[in-house]
Amino acid sequence: MKYTCTKDTIIIEDTKDFDISHILECGQVFTYKKNAENDYDVYSCDQFANVKLLDNKYVITCTDVNYFVNYFDLDTDYGIIKKNLGKSKYIVDAINFGHGIRILKQNLLEVIIGFIISANNNIKRIMTTMQKIREYGEKRGGYYAFPSLDVLQNITIDEFKDMGAGYRAEYLYDTIRRLKKVDFEKTYKQDTSALKKWLLSLKGVGPKVADCILLFGYGRCDCFPVDTWIEKVYVDLFHKKENRIKMSSDLIKYFGEYAGYAQQYLFFYRRSFVK
């Protein structure tokens, strides 16, 4: 994808494969704020970006240009991915609907915390809880950096509950202590199945949340999280119901190496049907 950078801005002129509302509202990320149509603030780790559409160009004003070139995955060609996936009317419709989706290179810790909170929850409250957790982090001018594990470790179960985490509060409390014991750098080197096994051993992480962490936190694009919306997609495609593990493996077989991208287009598309 073509883009140009200055010291603190990235300009994207070709917006065929970049639409900020698609990117942020397709369910992969809970750490942003909508200011207006096509005007969003994005928080990741200790970084901040404002993304705004001006004269049909996206202007990303940010704390670190290199960080956000990587974060928005600007060097990946989504034309190739879309072409590879577009083998039936259903997915082609989904891709056309969410043509501007990109899978973000998110901060792993935020993904783990965010998706533990996401279980049997709604996106609005997940985002509110994540923002409240962020406020335990270091203040950087107008925003907060996401708190480190050492800071997260000082948050009590009751405090997590007060932030709206509900019964997931103790999962967070427990998992934060487990995460203190691992070297994140080493986990990146593990293959997907070993990584999944470890993720499933964390409190509050089941098959679906593990797949989300693999896809959004580790960039393992051959994973296919199955939630309530993807269940509906599966029924649309295969005219039957199975358990979520089976649905996930069927969908990976169906879509192949770029299954994770398909998952995002399909989730965003299917969720738009009802309101």
Partner DNA sequence: TTCCAGGCTATGT
Partner DNA sequence: ACATAGCATGGA
Residues in contact with DNA by CB under 7 A are 26-28, 118-126, 161, 164, 166-167, 171, 202-210, 212, 225-230, 243, 263-264, 267, 271
Q: How far is CA 66 from CA 60, 76, 140, 163, 187, in A?
A: 12, 14, 19, 33, 23
What is the closest distance, in whole angstroms, from the C-beta atom of residue 223 to DNA in the complex?
10
- CB neighbours (10 Å) of residue 112? 25
Contact 198/183 with Cβ under 8 angstroms? no
What is the closest distance, in whole angstroms, from the C-beta atom of residue 161 to DNA in the complex?
5
Give the three-class secondary structure for 39.
strand
What is the closest distance, in whole angstroms, from the C-beta atom of residue 170 to DNA in the complex?
8
Q: Give the nearer residue to DNA in terms of CB position, either 145 or 152.
A: 152
Q: Give the nearer residue to DNA in terms of CB position, either 26 or 69.
A: 26
- CB neighbours (10 Å) of residue 135? 11
Provide the residue type at 57 as one letter.
Answer: K
Q: Give the nearer residue to DNA in terms of CB position, either 145 or 226.
A: 226
Q: Give the nearer residue to DNA in terms of CB position, either 112 or 152.
A: 112
Number of residues that make up the chain: 275
Q: Give the nearer residue to DNA in terms of CB position, either 68 or 171.
A: 171
What is the closest distance, in whole angstroms, from the C-beta atom of residue 6 to DNA in the complex?
32
Q: How far is CA 61 from CA 52, 56, 67, 268, in A?
A: 8, 16, 12, 26
Q: Give the nearer residue to DNA in terms of CB position, either 167 or 184.
A: 167
What is the closest distance, in whole angstroms, from the C-beta atom of residue 132 to DNA in the complex?
12
Q: Give the nearer residue to DNA in terms of CB position, either 137 or 260.
A: 260
Residue with tokens 């080197």: 189
Give the three-class secondary structure for 123.
helix
DSSP state for residue 55 in the 8-state scheme: T
Contact 261/221 with Cβ under 8 angstroms? yes
What is the closest distance, in whole angstroms, from the C-beta atom of residue 78 to DNA in the complex?
17
What tokens were used for 75?
């060097």
What is the closest distance, in whole angstroms, from the C-beta atom of residue 242 to DNA in the complex?
9
DSSP string, 128-164: HHHHHHHTTS-EETTEEPPPPHHHHTT--HHHHHHTT
